[in-house]
Chains A and B, each alone.
Chain A
């Protein structure tokens, strides 16, 4: 190779080195030195994202009947780019729109300001679920309302009106405070979330994933032709199947509303804690909350003294009357303060420390055993038991073990405010000056019959009854049964573990159930008038709670079928009088609905024989 050629090739190599040097340097400059800047540019690369809301999952009863579905409705939107540029015209149009949507110019401006901050090119939703007349009006006057558009959105639909309202709960736009909660991460103002009931508890399953439409826009914010880059379709929420049986639920709600008294009911599987029905009266229409409330609706719901939003079955706070005697009986037997064969004389009144505690109606039952005492609901018998345990804490121990006065673990957003009065509680309150006297025997005597300071509800009582019925398992009550994907495949099932197990002697259980069975279906029983002719053997206990200044509150707790109960039903009605007067007939209607198949079969065979 000649020297001249070597020189040329060396030069060639030099050029190659320089060119590669330029490329490497440029690459390093772009990716290492300025990488962050370009990454930021890539991220908001002249694109705008529109969120496309996803339909929430349906809520079904245990047999697949739709309790909450969706319907499409029209939302009124304003496209800020197409509004008049002249500020006077713009203002005029916006204030007209405000008037048409029952809003104010300030609120409209605020909404637009907030939404435009989040999505600068996207249309702003002024109002969801507008009526068709307004839409027609706006369409006919399109020239007067430039930039006004309508879009289809999904709105919750309640085919049965108020049915299961308290369980279902409501949905609404996410609130500012909620946006900070970790479980709502990724949501934006304007997104809908469950605000109460199972809509809230199971929100993460029901919510779905909003879709995303990314649109490429030019320097002026106008979408470029064919600028639709990606359309991630919205993913509908999964559906929630409840353990609720729509027939039982409807029967319970009907029974409450027929009587017209504030109250609640619950029907639960004693083995699994699955709630078959749970309702409260007065009730409300969840559909109201799908659009902004009018002042009258606010008055009728939030400010109504009858408190229709309160779930009296799961969140009520009442003394329970004699339905509590089952708990007193378990406590006395298990702590040895009463033996099974023991007979206590009931002269109609018990005197403790100069204070007289009388039977309801001043009846004297004579010498009674536990079974008889439950059948006729002898107060003196249980006063005596309460007195025997007045400063030992045994009654409180067993009531607490059975779930009274403590969180139940139910899958509904309920704050536990229940109270099981105890020596410690009252003495502490006395020390703090909250009451004028410390704990006395009388307090425990009252508690033994479900009177006094006790504050509980049908849910907790149902759990206590279920625990006796199933032999000692304190179940976790729940309404959520399973999550199904939109195609109907089961994604997960809810079988919450029992809260705990307690030991109840089978002999004691049998005796107490026998007493309750006699009370419901033996001639002298307290609810014989109601359940005497009921073809299925049951075990039920009446309760009449004193709530001065109110009239007595009616209670009924029933386990069916006797002697191996599958379900427990509890009913309470404020100011309903004796247990057998209001609550027991309502409970009977619920049982009739639950056992409808069996009852009609028996009726048919009875008719055939006759």
Chain B
């Protein structure tokens, strides 16, 4: 489409005949965004290949191989989404939202139970966790609802409607139970509303309600004997406040992660790492992979990873401002918030300043659903970027 426009209009100074890069759309993509995502995935495969050699007997690269395949699929998915105009999702918002809620609900019926919670389907090649893709679907649908509902009802009604639309799937996920992903859904909802222009006073009210709910959930409800969170969930949420000495509880695990990262010092311990190699730190290939990086590769490695996330989120925020339409702004804002929230909560948990919530580190933590969903989210960002660039180009060419 752009190529024909270039031919019909005034001669393009550089690409009269579109080259291969032009055909692939590369000049209109955000290179830094794509590269930071790919670099993180590569780092993840590298780390897994070193840190999980002995986890699966007889298959030293079990995790690394699979993560590599997921990342490759994700990158292909990212590219395909880049070439689709994201504005189509706005029209499909009801369908997307329905699919989101149904797929999460189906987990209760057909789901595969692991460690006491049903979160995923067993597919032939991997277990698919709908709530991971759900994060992106929620952004796409909710942004559509916000744009299209802009003129119906009072502001207060609208705020309540957005909240309900966002919190319904969050509640479903919470019931799986998967507290971490539910919190991500909540964060996405708030971010989309924020970028969508919901009044500050409403946010103040929501904030007050959140404080009240937290107090009830963590203090009041258990006190009257009707706990809302499961015991381990409450313990995880509060344990970072007092990293206890009891090796069996969550605070101990978090303390071990902190020791792991600290012991990496500036340059890391490499294969002499003990904390993450000798099972002191649990879930080292998923939730606590940042501790592995910290211990193995030291400040240099961990800061590099954090910098890549900073780059990723900076590019996402930049795309928020570039978008050619409000839908793109909202979607990009939601995705940026989703990434920021996950990175901060996961890394903060590893560093001992955030509670243990079971939120994976995007692109780093082992897991097909998460890696795939994150790359698709980046693909949507690319699509917004590309559409903005094309419309700019069109304007200049006119």
Contacts and interface: CB of A to CB of B under 8 A. Distances in A.
A31 B299 contact: yes
Given A23-B347, A45-B274, A38 B353 contact: no
Nearest to B348: A23
Interface in A1-56: 1, 4-6, 8-9, 12-13, 15-16, 19-20, 22-24, 26-28, 30-32, 34-39, 41-43, 45-46
A38 B273 CA distance: 12
Interface of chain A, main secondary structure: helix
Contacts of B309: 20
Contacts of B146: none
B279 A229 contact: yes
Contact of B275 (A12, A22, A42): A42
**Which of A12, A30, A34 has the largest number of chain B CB atoms within 10 A?**
A30
A60 B245 CA distance: 54
Contacts of B258: 30, 38
A15 to B, nearest CB: 8
A1 B333 CA distance: 14
B317 A16 contact: yes
A36 B262 CA distance: 8
B378 interface: no
Nearest to A34: B262
B265 A32 contact: yes
A34 B274 CA distance: 18
A38 B259 CA distance: 5
B197 A4 contact: yes
Contacts of A9: 195, 317, 320-321, 333
Contact of B274 (A8, A28, A42): A42
B147 to A, nearest CB: 13
A38 B313 contact: no
A230 interface: yes
A216 interface: yes
A259 interface: no
Contacts of A34: 262
Interface string A216-241: 10110000100001100000000000
A603 B351 CA distance: 88
A38 B263 contact: yes
B317 A39 contact: no
B11 to A, nearest CB: 32
A31 B247 contact: no
Interface string B182-219: 00000000010011010000000000000000000000
A27 B245 CA distance: 22
B344 interface: yes
A35 B329 contact: no
B265 A45 contact: no
Contacts of B352: 26, 30
Interface of B: 191, 194-195, 197, 245-248, 256, 258-266, 269, 274-275, 278-280, 294-295, 298-299, 302-303, 306, 309-310, 313-314, 317, 320-321, 329, 333, 336-337, 340, 344, 347-348, 351-353
12 contacts: A8-B194, A12-B194, A16-B317, A23-B306, A24-B306, A36-B265, A38-B258, A38-B259, A38-B263, A43-B274, A45-B280, A216-B247
Given A9-B321, A27-B351, A38-B263, 16 more contacts: A4-B197, A5-B329, A8-B194, A9-B320, A9-B333, A12-B195, A23-B351, A27-B302, A30-B258, A35-B263, A38-B260, A39-B262, A42-B263, A45-B275, A218-B247, A219-B245
